[in-house]
Amino acid sequence: MEWNPETLQFLSQCFLHTLSPQPEPRRAAESSLSEAAGRPNYGLAVLRLVAEPSVDEQIRQAAAVNFKNHLRTRWVPSNDPNDDPAFSPILEPEKDQIKTLIVSLMLSASPRIQSQLSEALAVIGKHDFPKSWPTLLPELVSNLQKAAQSADYASINGILGTANSIFKKFRYQYKTNDLLLDLKYCLDNFAAPLLEIFLRTASLIDSTAASAGGGSPVTLRPLFESQRLCCRIFYSLNFQELPEFFEDHMREWMGEFKKYLTTNYPSVESSADGLALVDELRAAVCENISLYMEKNEEEFQGYLNDFASAVWSLLTTVSLSSSRDKLAVTAMKFLTTVSTSVHHTLFANEGVIPQICQSIVIPNVRLRDEDEEVFEMNYVEFIRRDMEGSDLDTRRRIACELLKGIATNYKKQVMDIVSIQIQNLLSSFAANPSANWKDKDCAIYLVVSLATKKAGGTSVSTDLVDVQNFFASVIVPELQSQDVNGFPMLKAGAIKFFTMFRGHIQKPVVFQLFPDLVRFLGAESNVVHSYAANCIEKLLLVKEEGGNARYTSSDITPYVLVLMNNLFTALKFPESEENQYVMKCIMRVLGTAEISSEIAAPCIGGLTSILNEVCKNPKSPIFNHYLFESVAILIRKACERDASLVSAFEASLFPSLQTILSNDVTEFLPYAFQLFALLVELNRPPISPNYMQIFMLLLSPDSWKRSSNVPALVRLLQAFLQKAPHELNQEGRLSQVLGIFNMLVLSPSTDEQGFYVLNTVIENLEFGVLSPYMSNIWNVLFRRLQDRRTVKFQKSLVIFMSLFLVKHGATNLVNTMNAVQANIFLVILEQFWIPTLKLITGKIELKLTAVASIRLLCESPVLLDASVARLWGKMLDSIVTLISRPEQERVQEETTEMPDIAENVGYTATFVKLYNAGKREDDPLADIQDPKQFIIASLATLSARSPGRYPQIITENLEQANQEALHALCSNYNCTIV
């Protein structure tokens, strides 16, 4: 694309039309730009348009956004074969010109365009800086020094913003030699200029703030923004380790940091925007001193007392407004870090912990108006912040983390003080419940948040209160309140307490309160009915000490009809139509309860109607997953109990599943295929014509084009092969199935799925049917073995050969392989079967391969020949390793290639397995209870036919440890190898 007046006119018109409120010109312009983006020098032309002062600002801004997005998709060539070939990458000559122009253009642009170009520059920097763009940092430094001379803070902040973006990588990447070399380059070039501009700006702030009236806010704001950016760059450059330059100049940095935490700037802070700007700078300072506290404690300790005091004082003055949350959270995090360090003695002085509790913790734990607003207006966000296990930094949570930190070294003192606070809060509530309900909420929150959880488990404990007494006196009255809609935040807190301490509450007490929990599913508050559903779901997971479920089907079956009715009703409340907590509870209840036809009918009706609704616009992946799991478990449990229900489920579900297929609802296709597989397995032959239509769809190559569908399609194909094997050998279907196997097994990403298909074919068809196809099957497998072998493929191959042997005999296995190439069986045995056998994992797979291998040794004439005695011995050595050594001694982790992250982004790209629709693993050797006994007995029988032959082979070919293990096994089973 040449830069000329016509190009300028064309691009200007296109970008103008992209701003049109009318869809037709907007779409036409977007289409024209999309087509033009594939031409060489398009990005350069758009950048020149952005720099053209004669063009309207709005058009140039739209062009700047387009330029940034163009670089995001095309600066680096994609390695993804699924990407649109039209997305041709930007060529090197164009890249060089863009890199030459972009810094100066960014600095001369207006603020809005500057921010877009700064982001675009960061996109380039992410890939090219510093190695492929060595001129960038010197150019930024040179421009920074020029801008500093003239105090041009629009340019200064543009440069600092760009540097901040490109240095962020030092925060998030693992420490490697390459990263440290890049960091050294940046430090050598930028650390000194950064300190210089930071101190220069600090001096300007001081002189401006000291002038009459505290200085002009218009003058001060860009100065504070500049200091904030310097602090963020400081964080990036210090993240990996303490650089020598920063250690040498720590006094200058720390002096200014302390000043921003202890000084007020009334002229700026008098407006909400100005206060937010100063708070952002203070929060950045808190993050920097927290970083030094965590990583450079020894070097930082001289400044610690002053900072602890400054942060502490600051926290007592920070208002409870949500606009100041970030500052409050980062400041409390700093104190928490100090409290768990060797410098925790700062908290030992008399009166310190009570003051922190009263002045910092309690005010930040109490509910604010903003919390009530989020509770009412955005229940998903409230739960996200509040739920047990959330890692979100809220004031309430971080205030409690601060107390936990102090309690690390001063547990008794903290617990005594907080216990008194809790009693005071509850007394305040008792004096006037309707006015002081927030005090009770605060007390409950403190107990819940300060509880300690056992590592890796769900068990919790607290030293603050006696759980049973607190539950009975404080929580139960809220749960038994007949008004489910009164004081909803207090109800939510009580249910949350019940959920957290569910393991402590005795079973009779729980069942006394269970009807109340069911009642709360009808609360109008979305948080309350979500917490009630979550509590019921978590209760059903409680285990006794022996590992058995505390609550069984007989416990909850009496409640199931009313419980399910209330759960389905909860999904009808506004904004709760796709409530993941309610749907997860439905899934858990169906998984626990006995599913009679009286329960199954309303449940499948309710689930189908929800499914039909979400098919129109799938938007909540978690909700939808629990929905399909619920359908799967309902089908499985109901039909296994009463096979006559299969047809009822088909009648209800088929229209919905057909809609998913016919409308190509991409997100739901894997789920639909898994449900079809479950229904096929529950059917009794002959399979109905409806299913045969799906079978034909399954055999179409087009169905297999989406990789996310493959595991579900394999699962469905296995179900058909098991239930309708006689249908396979008609109308060329077996050839089509083997074509699918061929396609899958040749790719390392789907080879395992290919073996699942092949194994099911081998398991369910007679050898006479398979025989004509075996040469082709072996050819495909040998080709893949030759072209691209992996440990995973070799293990799958050994499992397949073992399954073939136990189903169709050793002779058929050896003969069909040797028919492809003379004596190839012995080559495969020596090079692949023997070494790979030791690596097999999985109970059924281990049994299958061990038994098949010993049968091969004892039954195959090829291996009974004296000329292959060494191979016979090596095979037995692998068998003994497999059955006598634990998995961790035999198997090393196979390193797999890192998948392309882009393949797994978003909702539609990945297959999600339905646990409740999973294939039941069949044991092809169910009649052999003890494979070790079978192996030893087979060897004893074989050796009895040729006394004296096998002990010598064993001595010559088995490792010493395996000879001893074999001897021990013979003793255990009272057998002798003679």
| pLDDT tens digits, 122-158 | 999 989 999 999 999 999 999 999 999 999 999 999 9
CB count in 10 Å sphere of residue 385: 18
Does residue 110 share a domain with residue 13? yes
Does residue 6 share a domain with residue 75? yes
Residue type, 218: V
Q: How confident is the model at residue 390 (pLDDT cuts 50, 70, 90)?
A: low
Q: For 444-464, what is the mean pLDDT? A: 81
Cα 978 off chain centre by:
57
Which pLDDT score, from 0 to 100, does residue 743 have? Answer: 92
49 within a domain of the structure (yes/no)? yes
pLDDT digits (tens, 9 = 90+) for 936-962: 999 999 999 999 899 999 999 999 999
CA 663-668-672 angle, to 5 degrees, is 90
Does residue 75 share a domain with residue 15? yes
Does residue 89 share a domain with residue 20? yes
Q: The domain containing residue 108 runs over which residues? A: 1-128
SS3 430: helix
Cα 950 off chain centre by:
54
Residues 302-316: b if buried by 16+ CB within 10 A, e if exposed: ebbeebbebbbebbe
* Dihedral sign for Cα atoms in the order 441, 442, 444, 445: positive
- The owner of tokens 């064309």 is 10
| Domain-ending residue, one of 109, 128, 147 | 128
31: Cβ–Cβ under 8 A, 6 or more apart, which residues?
none
- Mean pLDDT, all residues of the chain: 91
Does residue 82 share a domain with residue 92? yes
946 within a domain of the structure (yes/no)? no
Q: How confident is the model at residue 903 (pLDDT cuts 50, 70, 90)?
A: very low
Q: For 50-68, what is the mean pLDDT? A: 94
Q: How confident is the model at residue 788 (pLDDT cuts 50, 70, 90)?
A: confident
| Domain-ending residue, one of 83, 98, 128 | 128
Q: How confident is the model at residue 517 (pLDDT cuts 50, 70, 90)?
A: very high
Q: For 750-768, what is the mean pLDDT? A: 92
Q: How confident is the model at residue 784 (pLDDT cuts 50, 70, 90)?
A: very high
18 within a domain of the structure (yes/no)? yes
pLDDT digits (tens, 9 = 90+) for 542-579: 998 888 999 999 999 889 999 999 999 999 999 999 99
Alpha-carbon distance of 768 to 927, in angstroms, equals 24
Does 82 score more than 50 pLDDT? no
Q: How confident is the model at residue 78 (pLDDT cuts 50, 70, 90)?
A: low
CB count in 10 Å sphere of residue 114: 21
DSSP 452: E
Q: Which residues pair with 581 in a beta bridge?
A: none
Which pLDDT score, from 0 to 100, does residue 908 have? Answer: 40
For residue 229, give Cα distances in angstroms to 284, 324, 748: 9, 19, 47
Alpha-carbon distance of 630 to 612, in angstroms, equals 15
Q: How many residues does the chain have?
A: 978
Does residue 215 share a domain with residue 146? yes
Helices vs strands, H then E, count in the chain: 54, 2
677: left (phi over 0), alpha (psi -120 to 50) or beta: alpha
Alpha-carbon distance of 389 to 45, in angstroms, equals 50
662 within a domain of the structure (yes/no)? no
Does 906 score more than 60 pLDDT? no
Does 276 score more than 90 pLDDT? yes
Lowest-pLDDT choice from 50-54, 99-103, 148-152, 456-460: 456-460
457 within a domain of the structure (yes/no)? no
208 within a domain of the structure (yes/no)? yes
Does residue 133 share a domain with residue 94? no
103 within a domain of the structure (yes/no)? yes
Alpha-carbon distance of 119 to 162, in angstroms, equals 7
SS3 529: helix
Q: Is the pTM of this model over 0.75?
A: yes
Does residue 124 share a domain with residue 148? no
Which pLDDT score, from 0 to 100, does residue 907 have? Answer: 39
Yes or no: say if 737 and 761 are a contact pair by the CB < 8 Å rule.
yes
Cα 783 off chain centre by:
37
Which pLDDT score, from 0 to 100, does residue 899 have? Answer: 32
Alpha-carbon distance of 591 to 644, in angstroms, equals 20
Alpha-carbon distance of 159 to 189, in angstroms, equals 14
Yes or no: say if 534 and 588 are a contact pair by the CB < 8 Å rule.
no
Q: How confident is the model at residue 669 (pLDDT cuts 50, 70, 90)?
A: very high
Does residue 155 share a domain with residue 58? no
Which pLDDT score, from 0 to 100, does residue 81 have? Answer: 41
For residue 644, give Cα distances in angstroms to 67, 428, 692, 892: 62, 61, 20, 48
Does residue 107 share a domain with residue 25? yes
Q: For 423-445, what is the mean pLDDT? A: 96
Q: How confident is the model at residue 905 (pLDDT cuts 50, 70, 90)?
A: very low
Does 909 score more than 80 pLDDT? no
Q: Output 895 or 581, whichever has higher pLDDT.
A: 581
Yes or no: say if 248 and 255 are a contact pair by the CB < 8 Å rule.
no
895: left (phi over 0), alpha (psi -120 to 50) or beta: beta
Percentages helix, strand, coil for the chain (3-state, rounded to 5) are 75, 0, 25
Q: What single string gives the DSSP state of each residue in 196-223?
A: HHHHHHHHHHHHHHHSGGG--HHHHHHH
Residue type, 454: K
700: left (phi over 0), alpha (psi -120 to 50) or beta: beta
Does residue 241 share a domain with residue 121? no
Yes or no: say if 669 and 676 are a contact pair by the CB < 8 Å rule.
no
pLDDT digits (tens, 9 = 90+) for 711-749: 999 999 999 888 888 777 777 889 999 999 999 998 888
Please give the share of the chain, as a percent, with pLDDT higher than 90: 77
Residue 462 tokens read as 């607290």
69 within a domain of the structure (yes/no)? yes
Please give the share of the chain, as a percent, with pLDDT higher than 70: 96
What's the domain count of the chain? 2
Residue 117 tokens read as 């170009």
The DSSP H or E segment spanning 460 is strand 460-461
Does residue 118 share a domain with residue 29? yes
| Domain-ending residue, one of 67, 95, 128 | 128
Alpha-carbon distance of 612 to 624, in angstroms, equals 11
pLDDT digits (tens, 9 = 90+) for 621-633: 999 999 999 999 9
